[in-house]
Amino acid sequence: MEQPTRLGRAVKATVLVLVVAAVAYPLLGVLGTSIASQSDIIRSTGLVLWPDHPTLDAYRTILTGGVVTRALLVSIGVTVLGTGASLVVTVCMAYGLSRREVTGSRLILMTALFTMLFNAGIIPNFLLVKGIGLYDTYASLVAPTLVSAFNLVVLRAFFMNLPEELYDAARVDGAGDLRILLRLVLPLSKAVIAVVSLFYAVTYWNAFFNALLYLDGSDKWPLPMVLRTYVLQGQSLSSAAAGESLAPEQAVQMAVLVIAVVPILLVYPFLQRYFTKGVLTGAIKG
C-alpha cells in the first residue's frame, strides 16, 4: 500500500476536524444551554456554548418529580426488560434456526426475513395489540418489536460459523441443546451478543411510536414521548415537570435532551471493543 502524501494527510485531518466540530457544536450547545441562566439565554438569543452564570436549576426541576422523572423510570424499565426479553427470544430462535436438523427451520427463517421487506401496517398492528389485550400497557412497548429479523440473521450466522466439531464433542459428552447453548455457544458469542444488546437497547430507549399508538394517557409515557411533546412541539415543560420552576423553559428542555442522550453515551464505551468484531460476524467464512 502506498504511503499517504502530506497533502492527503492534511485533507483527511481537515475533514476529520470539520466532522468533529459539526458534531460537537450542537452537543456543547445543548449541554451549555441546559445549565445556563435566564440572562445567559437572553443574551445569546439561542444556544449557549459557555454560560457565564451556570446553574443546575433545570436538572433540579425535572428530577424532583413530575412527568420527566416518571418517564425516565419508564424508559429505563422498558429498555432493561425489553432488551433482556428480546435477547432471550432472539438467541433461542437463532440457535434453533442454525441447526440444520431442525424441521422447518428454513420456512421459519424465510418468514422472519419476509418481515424485513413487508410490514402489516399501522392499523393491523394496532388492532392486533388491542385484540390480544396489550393496549395501554407497558407490554405494548415491547411485544411488537420483540424480535428483530436483522439481529436474528446476525446471531444465526455467528452460530452457524462455530465449528461443528464443538457441537459433536458436546453431544458425545451427553450435553443437550440447552446445555450446549448455555455452556458452549453463549461464552463464544460475547462479541455478537454485546452488539445485538446495544442495537436492542438503543431501539427501546429511542422508541416513541409504539407509545404514541398504544398508550392512552401521559402517565405511562417513556422519555422519547416527553421529548416529542414538550421539546419538539414546544409545549411548556416547567409546570409539568415539578410545579413552579426557577429555571428558564429552554434550559429545562435542553436538560431533558441531555438526560435522553447520556445513558447511551455511557453504555457505548463499554461495548465498543466488541462492536467491530460483532458487526463483521459472517463477513469472513472459513
Query: Is there a single domain that holds both residue 121 and residue 243?
Result: yes
CB atoms within 10 A of CB 49: 13
Q: Could you tell me if 64 and 244 are in contact, meaning their C-beta atoms sit under 8 angstroms apart?
A: no
Per-residue pLDDT, 192:
87
Neighbours of 80 (CB within 10 A): 13
Flag whether 286 is in a domain: no
Claim to verify: residue 157 and residue 251 sit in the same structural domain: yes
Residue with cell 395501554: 136
Query: To 10 degrees, the CA torsion angle through 206, 216, 89, 117?
Result: -70
Distance in angstroms (rounded) separating the CA atoms of residues 136 and 138: 7
* Same domain (yes/no): 83, 27: no
Q: How many domains does the chain have?
A: 2
Per the CB < 8 A criterion, the answer to whether 156 and 98 are in contact is yes
- The CATH number given to whatever domain includes residue 101 is 1.10.3720.10
User: Domain check: are 213 and 189 in the same one?
Assistant: yes
Q: Domain residues for 31?
A: 1-55
Q: Report pLDDT digits (tens) over 140-173.
A: 999 888 998 889 998 998 888 888 888 888 888 8
Question: Which stretches of the chain drop beneath a pLDDT of 50?
Answer: 242-243, 282-286
User: Can you tell me the distance from the alpha carbon of 130 to that of 144, in angstroms, rounded to the nearest whole number?
Assistant: 12
SS3 284: coil
Asked if 71 and 205 sit in the same domain, the reply is yes
Element holding 83 (H helix, E strand): helix 67-98
pLDDT of residue 80: 93
Say how far apart CA 271 and CA 195 lie, in whole Å. 7
**pTM for this structure?**
0.81
Residues in CB range of 206: below 8 A, 6 or more apart: 224
Identify whether the C-beta of residue 145 lies closer than 8 Å to the C-beta of residue 210.
yes
User: Tens digit of pLDDT for each residue in 176-210?
Assistant: 888 888 888 888 888 888 889 888 998 999 888 88
Say whether both 153 and 99 belong to one domain: yes
Are 152 and 272 found together in one domain?
Answer: yes
Compute the distance between CA of residue 285 and CA of residue 131 in angstroms, rounded to an integer: 45
Do both 25 and 97 map to the same domain?
A: no
